[in-house]
Structure 1
Amino acid sequence: MPNIESSPPIIEKHTIGYVPPEDRHGKVRDLFTLWFGGNIAPLPIVTGALGVQLFHLNLVWGIVAILVGHLIGGVLMALHSAQGPQMGIPQMIQSRAQFGSLGSLLVVAIAGIMYIGFFASNIVLAGKSLHGVAASVPVPVGIVVGAIGSGIIGIIGYRFIHILNRIGTWVLGIGIVVGFGYIFSHIHTADFLTRGGFTLSGWLATVSLAALWQIAFAPYVSDYSRYLPENVPVAATFWATWLGSVLGSSLAFIFGAVAVLATPIGMDTMEAVKLATGSIGPLMLILFLLSVISHNALNLYGAVLSLITLVQTFVWRWIPTGRSRAAISVIVLTCCCIAAIGASEDFIGHFVDLVLALLVVLVPWTAINLIDFYAIHKGHYDITSIFRVDGGIYGRYNPQALLAYAIGILVQIPFMNTPLYVGPISAHINGADLSWLIGLLVTSPLYYWLASRDSAYRRRQPNAC
């Protein structure tokens, strides 16, 4: 195997194109460190705290809900990751094989919007973290600093992202363990174990948040495994990704819940972290600041690849380069800075509303993509057709996928419970949110049935072209 330190270029040259075998590099264990280190960051800490803050669970039920959500959602996320070495292309452009060259545009646009939202939310947290470390630094200045740091990492690309997360796994892993130890030995509240209780709706909402955290990586998780050699076993890719992501994100979610319960009611989560960790609080905030800058590069990278995919669909003769990716990164970064500075006070609250709504549109996509890859095509696709303007053997539209996708969204609506809308069935069962589970259970068999009975099915097989 080529030496990872000398063979690949410093700045990534590939964008959405196929990565040829001679450019493949890295080891499967890099996926563990990427997803473990990348998930120990302020945003998952803030999200994990919602189980006790917003849904009023106690510590035990909050931890159980967090673990259940991550364990289930992590399976879907890791199955997407295992597609990377087999395909050698980013996740979103692969969606053309399921939905068609034009039919995939809606899903690609949704993914782009989601990652822009993630990026903007994270730079707000970076700004607040920097302000917490150095009060003389205004939050808007911190937002810009965080955005520029993430931008540099994202522009350098794949290799640098992996290197930073290898380092971050050790530093952040040790840091969060020390943080847990300090909090449990310096609890500031008398109701640490008794605050909150159990409600089915709150428990399911927390499970949904944790599952969504994992599913939200699905549209770009294989972007970070596509450079691995194509003979890497699917099982090896799956387990390295699943273990890293579930362990890292569960620790961060639980850390947020513990910090909030260990401090007086009503505190901002990151303020609670600073108070709960006492004398090591400033150090923890510095670690989280560095983490959010590094982790946020993934969101910028994913958003830019989604935008490139959208543009290339219409300008199909365009061959995007690393320079194109850098230019679009700067544009996205600038727009997100402006939006985040203008709405930094309530941005995180709006973000939670957004991600809860996005669960409804992400679940049917993930079901269709996984069924198509593992059950229908069994990992064999015609890469040339995926990059053709007419979709090649996959066409411009796949009616079966689009129908299953639409039905997968519609069946979730009665079961939804988000700040934007509460479905009638959810309201009838005391606000329990079962939409994501219903979406998976309906979309998966429906798409398999529609695709299997399609008279044109054989024409979309790569060995038939």
Structure 2
Amino acid sequence: MSLAEPTTEGTYGDRVVAVEPGGNEHIAEADRHGRPSQLFWTWTSPNLEFATIFVGMLAVLAFGMTFWQAVAGIVVGTGLGAVAHFLLSARGPLHGVPQMVMARLAFGFRGNAVPAVLMSITAGVGWFATNSVSGAFALSTLFGFAPLVGLVIIVAAQTVLAFFGHNLVQAFERFSFPVLAVIFLAASVAIFAHADLGNAAPAADGVGGLGGFLLTVGTSFGYAAGWTPYAADFTRYLPASVSPRRTGFFAAAGLFTACVVLEVVGAASVTTGAASLADPTGSFTAELASPLAKATLLAIAVGAIAANAINVYSGAMAFVTIGIRLPAHFARALVTVFFGVAGFLVAWWALPDAAHSYEAFLLIIAYWVGPWLGVVFADQYLRRGQPVAHLLYDRSYTNWGGLAAFAFGLVASVALFANQEKLVGVIAAAVPQLGDITFFVGFVLAAAGYIVLCRKKLAAQTV
């Protein structure tokens, strides 16, 4: 740790019912606690929710895949996201800083503000709103009140968890894990009992073919990789002595297991003949017996809270990392409240057309996360073995090549390959059977651009 690097005071430790002090400081040894195995439920619980199921439903209903084609696309896309999550989570204990602070190496202190803002909006507002909507509809269906009432309940619960911070969020993920796992396992068995996996034809109005498969890979990747900008946020409190491989493994295993299982269940639910994009939550639970349907609706609400406690926590963390000066002791907690309010307003706006908004949102996440990962991994490769702590909080440190590579990868990939309803790239228009491979292209272009622009600079830093 460099002398200029801010660090925690050692007063937080493993206290659960206490507001986590500070913002994005380096975690002092006195505050380190936990073990890598806890990361399994940290990343399983937030993905045991209906938003995960809906990814699998989209593969068949919107992208025209058969069940087994959907399974293949889900495994590939989620696997790619889990590998990225492994690599980024593994670095957390060694460096003891949030993920977006680590990203300053690739982008510089000021340049990092661009992806940090994108991450704040994606996590603190976008994902927060998306998951809040699914939880609100679940409570509305379960108790019979208006979705807006359910939305208020969901938002209040998850904002309180995130306001208290890291330890309470981790505790909630731990204790919600067995409840969510049992209920969703029972629901999954019931869904498969009614499914027609072998004879299920793809949706007539779906994309189909290679394009549909790549869309399935892209949305599955977007869902899984959407967590990667948070990865080190939840490993940085582990002791520096823990195994990086075990840290990465448990984080990736929790993410991969929950996503693949529930997305496959979502795809299977479409083969029962009851699934509908107009009412995805209601059509999913329609095949379940009444007691199990009610328990599943409750689990969907709890899963939304588990996911959004992490989303708003890390969204606030990223915002603090932008460099805006805030009251040091309560910076993260104050920003959490702001994102809770903003996320509520966006969720309220999205209530009438949740399904369509979600499909587009998953692809848009992948658009910027792909190039971001390309730059971050290229930087990690070029810096292997170099000391980096002295750069993480240095406001004078610049690396504009990282931002240029990110912008190049993002703009070029979207302009050429984006395949949205209101934005179709040049190549996507000419070869529509490609579907949407923007995130693949963005990753490769950004990584290659970073190596070209920054290799000499980073090599000179080792001399």
TM-score normalised by structure 2 residue count = 0.89
Query: Once the two structures are superposed, what CA deviation does each residue of 1:33-87 show, in whole Å capped at 9, x if it has no partner?
Result: 1111221111111222110111121111111111111011211122111121121
Residue 8 of structure 1 and its aligned partner are, at CA, apart by: 3.5
- Aligned position for 1:100: 108
Query: Once the two structures are superposed, what CA deviation does each residue of 1:319-358 show, in whole Å capped at 9, x if it has no partner?
Result: 522x333332222212322332233111442243233123
Among candidates 196, 201, 217, match of residue 227 of structure 2:
217
The 3-state SS of whatever aligns with 2:238 is coil
User: Quick one: which amino acid aligns to residue 235 of structure 1?
Assistant: R
Aligned counterparts of 1:282 and 1:220: Cα–Cα separation in 2: 32
1:406 and 2:407 matched? yes
User: Quick one: which amino acid aligns to residue 222 of structure 1?
Assistant: A
Distance change in 2, residues 1:7/1:160 (3 Å): closer
The 3-state SS of whatever aligns with 1:263 is coil
User: Quick one: which amino acid aligns to residue 401 of structure 1?
Assistant: G
User: Quick one: which amino acid aligns to residue 32 of structure 1?
Assistant: F
Aligned counterparts of 1:218 and 1:401: Cα–Cα separation in 2: 18
Aligned counterparts of 1:447 and 1:226: Cα–Cα separation in 2: 26
Query: Once the two structures are superposed, what CA deviation does each residue of 1:1-23 show, in whole Å capped at 9, x if it has no partner?
Result: xxxx9844532224211101121
Residue 184 of structure 1 and its aligned partner are, at CA, apart by: 2.5
- Aligned position for 2:427: 425
User: Quick one: which amino acid aligns to residue 349 of structure 1?
Assistant: H
Where do 1:47-446 residues align within 5 Å? 47-115=55-123, 116-135=125-144, 137-187=145-195, 193-196=200-203, 198-264=208-274, 266=276, 268-279=279-290, 280-310=292-322, 313-315=323-325, 318=326, 320-321=328-329, 323-378=330-385, 380-383=387-390, 385-390=391-396, 395=397, 397-412=398-413, 413-432=415-434, 433-446=436-449
Q: Which moved more, 1:42-51 or 1:140-149?
A: 42-51
Aligned counterparts of 1:342 and 1:414: Cα–Cα separation in 2: 31
Aligned counterparts of 2:231 and 2:421: Cα–Cα separation in 1: 27
Q: Is the 8 A contact 2:93 2:242 kept in 1?
A: yes
Aligned counterparts of 1:212 and 1:190: Cα–Cα separation in 2: 25
Distance change in 2, residues 1:378/1:53 (3 Å): farther
Aligned counterparts of 2:358 and 2:152: Cα–Cα separation in 1: 19
Distance change in 2, residues 1:337/1:435 (3 Å): closer
Aligned counterparts of 1:214 and 1:354: Cα–Cα separation in 2: 13
Aligned counterparts of 2:420 and 2:288: Cα–Cα separation in 1: 32
Residue 265 of structure 1 and its aligned partner are, at CA, apart by: 5.3
Q: Is the 8 A contact 1:153 1:294 kept in 2?
A: no
Query: Once the two structures are superposed, what CA deviation does each residue of 1:266-298 show, in whole Å capped at 9, x if it has no partner?
Result: 352111221022331111111111111122101
Residue 191 of structure 1 and its aligned partner are, at CA, apart by: 9.0
Q: Is the 8 A contact 1:260 1:272 kept in 2?
A: no
User: Quick one: which amino acid aligns to residue 105 of structure 2?
Assistant: A
Distance change in 2, residues 1:191/1:237 (3 Å): closer
User: Quick one: which amino acid aligns to residue 98 of structure 1?
Assistant: A
Query: Once the two structures are superposed, what CA deviation does each residue of 1:138-171 show, in whole Å capped at 9, x if it has no partner?
Result: 1001001000010111112211222222233322
Residue 192 of structure 1 and its aligned partner are, at CA, apart by: 6.2
Aligned counterparts of 1:180 and 1:379: Cα–Cα separation in 2: 47
Aligned counterparts of 1:126 and 1:265: Cα–Cα separation in 2: 18
| Count of aligned pairs between the two proteins | 443
Aligned counterparts of 2:306 and 2:364: Cα–Cα separation in 1: 26
Distance change in 2, residues 1:283/1:17 (3 Å): same
Q: Is the 8 A contact 1:120 1:336 kept in 2?
A: yes
Aligned counterparts of 1:194 and 1:9: Cα–Cα separation in 2: 50
User: Quick one: which amino acid aligns to residue 150 of structure 1?
Assistant: Q
The 3-state SS of whatever aligns with 1:220 is helix
Cα RMSD, aligned residues only: 2.3
Distance change in 2, residues 1:99/1:190 (3 Å): closer
Q: Is the 8 A contact 2:159 2:336 kept in 1?
A: yes
Q: Which moved more, 1:210-219 or 1:351-360?
A: 351-360
Residue 406 of structure 1 and its aligned partner are, at CA, apart by: 2.1
Q: Is the 8 A contact 2:214 2:437 kept in 1?
A: yes
Q: Is the 8 A contact 1:192 1:262 kept in 2?
A: no
Equivalent pairs: percent with the same residue? 23
User: Quick one: which amino acid aligns to residue 453 of structure 1?
Assistant: K
Aligned counterparts of 1:405 and 1:117: Cα–Cα separation in 2: 21
User: Quick one: which amino acid aligns to residue 301 of structure 1?
Assistant: Y
1:450 and 2:450 matched? no
Unaligned runs of 5+ in 1: none
Distance change in 2, residues 1:374/1:14 (3 Å): farther
Distance change in 2, residues 1:194/1:358 (3 Å): closer
Aligned counterparts of 2:402 and 2:335: Cα–Cα separation in 1: 30
Aligned counterparts of 1:108 and 1:325: Cα–Cα separation in 2: 14
Residue 366 of structure 1 and its aligned partner are, at CA, apart by: 1.0
Q: Is the 8 A contact 2:139 2:301 kept in 1?
A: yes
